[in-house]
Structure 1
Amino acid sequence: MPENSHAETIAVLQQYALHIQYIEDFGRVKKIYSDRGVFALKSISPHVGIDFIRNVQTLYQRGYNRIVPIYQSKDGRYAVLHHNKLYYLMPWLESLESGERDVRHKQMFRELARMHSLSIKEIEVDKEDREAHYERTLQAWEAQQEFLDEWIVSCEKKWYMSPTEMMFCVYYNDISQALKYSIRKFKEWFEQTKEEEKVRTVVTHGKVSLKHFVSDNRGYGYFINFENSRVAPPHFDILPFLVRSMKTFPIQCNDCVDWLYNYIRYFPLKEDEMLLMQSYLAYPGSALDAVKNYVERKGNKTELDSVKELQRQYWFLKNVEYVVMKIEEIENQKKAAAKEEQSPQS
């Protein structure tokens, strides 16, 4: 461990009643062996520290205890500021990755749902702000549809298209349909919420992944790394994880659907929350970026690079499409079943 880093770590640990025996360096995390056990000392930017500590304290106060605890210093602080870095101390917990990967995913989503349900808070929203956000987003998305329609015409007029242009012509319908679906769901969301004055928020983790969900020797799961946490709608946690899971070779990610509905089993999403999530999930932003970057010649990509990039983004789009259509099917079935229950018995 570098001498300067070691000296800084010792200086910070003096704020805790620990007798240090040995320190291992893992970059921003130091593994501390002491007379009172093994701990992790982590450094973060002070700019995120205030929200991070506040959100963790909120979860503690609401009774959510599946967070690796943060220890207070001798003077009662949850974090120590030293040389423009914020340090916090927690127990060192090894991740026990025994058992099926899918089981761990479902356990993580169940805990995420429980964390969200315990931290619900309705906040007031300005109807004019919501409408302005809606108009800006809708205008941008409709402009992208116009861009797609104009470029397909331009490509098809050519006698000889480049490989990327030919590939775009093949993929155009799928990209366009994804964008239209996203716009339709966005409009449905706005129609449902335009008169509402409040929106439901939760404490989000901000960086949900199996790396940040560890288990103890009893099999209990705990979240770590709340540095990106914020108060936001629940889809701020769900969507990024699902998107990362689908950025791969072509797959039918039934697991993604199962994880989502395992979450919903413990924390049901309102209809407008589901509509907004469907809209954002379906939005083909990566494919649109790949096309625009080619048209505007951004970067130094060769034709082969552009073809590969568009191919990757098309795979991702089709992976998302499968999941979006599964969600649509399930939601339609739920609506039909609810309607049947409400209809008079014959």
Structure 2
Amino acid sequence: MEEIEPLLRQYDLTLEYGEEVNSKVMKIYTNKGPYVVKLLPNSIDQQFLHSYSSLRQSNFNQFVPIVLNRNQQLISHYNGQNYYVSPWLPNEPEDEREKRHQYLFQEMARLHKQTEQNVTLLGHEVSKHYETYVKELEENKAFYEAFVEKCEQKLYLSPFELQAVTYYIEVSRAIDFSIKKIEEWYEKMGEKETSRISLTHRKISAHHFLYDQNEKGHFINFEQARYASPIDDFLLFITRIARTTPVQSDDCVNWFYTYQKEYPYTDEEMLLFLSYLAYPHRICSLIKQSHTYPYTELEKNRKLVKAYWQFKNIEYVVMKLSEIEERKKREAEAAEAKATNE
């Protein structure tokens, strides 16, 4: 505790007591109340500072602010390390898990909406991305197919090979679905000259959404934030929470549409989102690198099974979202036809 006292003097804070939350975060009690001291990677760059500057300039204020030091800087350098200090929030909501996540994604939608920017699409960016992505999908599908054909020529298969052969049809169909959606996206983009981006958090979770004494939620941990397509936050969130045993996550579907009510994706964003989400990238990577892994057969097989569980969890969400979007499309077309006839 005594070692950080010189750091705290940069904020005119006197340390009374402190406790370690984890290896990077310390809760401190001072003469001016409780604060958090967080250690940052030495590689932290201007992107982090730019993200916080964008937050402060936007109308979005549901984030825990960083306390400026005596030099009016966000980051303090001490003993060769980078730190920042922010107020400590009690984070003691009485909300159930469902209500807490509904609130989180309402605020995430507001974050994206209030930091939205339009960017010009230069040259052949759309066609280049489309061609590169489709090429990757087709190459991975072809590699997987060749791997399966080679396995089928063997009399005995290893556990990894047996699982890989078993999963091939499902993975192949998922890749075909992903290609179909990216083709629809490419057609929709047409001659579009602009696209929208927002400040994306990139580590969205209930652990990074804390409540103050008035039970208002605030985002923390913007170290990886950057401007990107608003679909990125939900892609990263679903990919992360899907790394479990098999489960049908209707909650995730509900949270997605909570977000959509506040800040709906465009038709193009929805197609791109479904294409990215459906792509079983983790399984394809394991198959492609199966001969170079320094793992035992048991470890390789365990990784493949876990990747398959993640794929199936995501597949359920993709199918539910696709069904809902198709139904909405049919209803809109029917309403338009009815209005035309009248």
Deviations 1:54-111 (A, max 9, x none): 2222222211111012122233222223344332221111322533111111111111
- How many angstroms does 1:319 deviate by? 1.4
Query: Could you tell me which residue of structure 2 aligns to residue 76 of structure 1?
Result: 72
Corresponding pairs, count: 339
- Identity rate of aligned residues, in percent? 35
Using the size of structure 2 for normalisation, the TM-score is 0.92
Query: Could you tell me which residue of structure 2 aligns to residue 298 of structure 1?
Result: 293
Moved more, 172-181 or 21-30: 21-30
Matching of residue 37 in structure 1 with residue 43 in structure 2: no
1:211 to 202, 207, 210: 207
1:333 to 327, 330, 341: 327
Moved more, 214-223 or 77-86: 77-86
Matching of residue 255 in structure 1 with residue 271 in structure 2: no
Query: Could you tell me which residue of structure 2 aligns to residue 266 of structure 1?
Result: 262
Determine if contact 2:90/2:213 at 8 Å carries over to the other structure. no
Cα distance in 1, alignment partners of residues 165 and 47 from structure 2? 47
- How many angstroms does 1:191 deviate by? 2.0
- How many angstroms does 1:46 deviate by? 5.0
Q: Are residues 307 and 82 of structure 1, via their aligned partners in 2, closer, same or farther at CA, if it must alter by over 3 Å?
A: closer
Matching of residue 114 in structure 1 with residue 94 in structure 2: no
Q: Could you tell me which amino acid in structure 2 is paired with residue 164 of structure 1?
A: F
Q: Are residues 74 and 208 of structure 1, via their aligned partners in 2, closer, same or farther at CA, if it must alter by over 3 Å?
A: same
Unpaired runs of at least 5, structure 1: none
Matching of residue 101 in structure 1 with residue 97 in structure 2: yes
Q: Secondary structure at the match of 1:326?
A: helix
Q: Secondary structure at the match of 1:139?
A: helix
Q: Secondary structure at the match of 1:127?
A: coil
- How many angstroms does 1:248 deviate by? 1.1
Q: Are residues 18 and 167 of structure 1, via their aligned partners in 2, closer, same or farther at CA, if it must alter by over 3 Å?
A: closer
Q: Secondary structure at the match of 1:165?
A: helix
Determine if contact 2:209/2:219 at 8 Å carries over to the other structure. yes
Determine if contact 1:127/1:195 at 8 Å carries over to the other structure. no
Q: Secondary structure at the match of 2:289?
A: helix
Determine if contact 1:49/1:227 at 8 Å carries over to the other structure. no
Cα distance in 2, alignment partners of residues 19 and 151 from structure 1? 63
2:216 to 216, 220, 227: 220
2:14 to 15, 19, 27: 19
Deviations 1:4-58 (A, max 9, x none): xx33x22222222333323334432232222221111222135435322322222
Q: Secondary structure at the match of 1:208?
A: coil
Matching of residue 244 in structure 1 with residue 203 in structure 2: no
Determine if contact 1:49/1:86 at 8 Å carries over to the other structure. no
Q: Are residues 33 and 159 of structure 1, via their aligned partners in 2, closer, same or farther at CA, if it must alter by over 3 Å?
A: closer
Moved more, 176-185 or 161-170: 161-170
Query: Could you tell me which residue of structure 1 aligns to residue 276 of structure 2?
Result: 280
Determine if contact 1:127/1:194 at 8 Å carries over to the other structure. no
Cα distance in 1, alignment partners of residues 134 and 306 from structure 2? 26
Q: Are residues 34 and 330 of structure 1, via their aligned partners in 2, closer, same or farther at CA, if it must alter by over 3 Å?
A: same
1:134 to 130, 136, 150: 130
Cα distance in 1, alignment partners of residues 59 and 42 from structure 2? 26
Matching of residue 163 in structure 1 with residue 172 in structure 2: no
Q: Could you tell me which amino acid in structure 2 is paired with residue 238 of structure 1?
A: F
Cα distance in 2, alignment partners of residues 313 and 20 from structure 1? 46
Q: Could you tell me which amino acid in structure 1 is paired with residue 19 of structure 2?
A: E
- How many angstroms does 1:312 deviate by? 2.0
- How many angstroms does 1:194 deviate by? 4.7
Query: Could you tell me which residue of structure 1 aligns to residue 315 of structure 2?
Result: 321
Q: Could you tell me which amino acid in structure 1 is paired with residue 70 of structure 2?
A: K
- How many angstroms does 1:293 deviate by? 3.0
Q: Could you tell me which amino acid in structure 2 is paired with residue 306 of structure 1?
A: K
- How many angstroms does 1:260 deviate by? 0.8
Deviations 1:195-238 (A, max 9, x none): 22222111111211111111123221111111111111112211
- How many angstroms does 1:130 deviate by? 3.2
Q: Are residues 84 and 191 of structure 1, via their aligned partners in 2, closer, same or farther at CA, if it must alter by over 3 Å?
A: farther
Matching of residue 191 in structure 1 with residue 180 in structure 2: no
Determine if contact 2:178/2:279 at 8 Å carries over to the other structure. yes
- How many angstroms does 1:288 deviate by? 1.2
Deviations 1:157-199 (A, max 9, x none): 3333333333322221101001111111112212222522222
- How many angstroms does 1:124 deviate by? 1.7
Deviations 1:319-341 (A, max 9, x none): 11111110111111111121122
What is the aligned-residue RMSD (CA, Å)? Answer: 1.9
Q: Secondary structure at the match of 1:48?
A: coil
Cα distance in 2, alignment partners of residues 175 and 89 from structure 1? 46
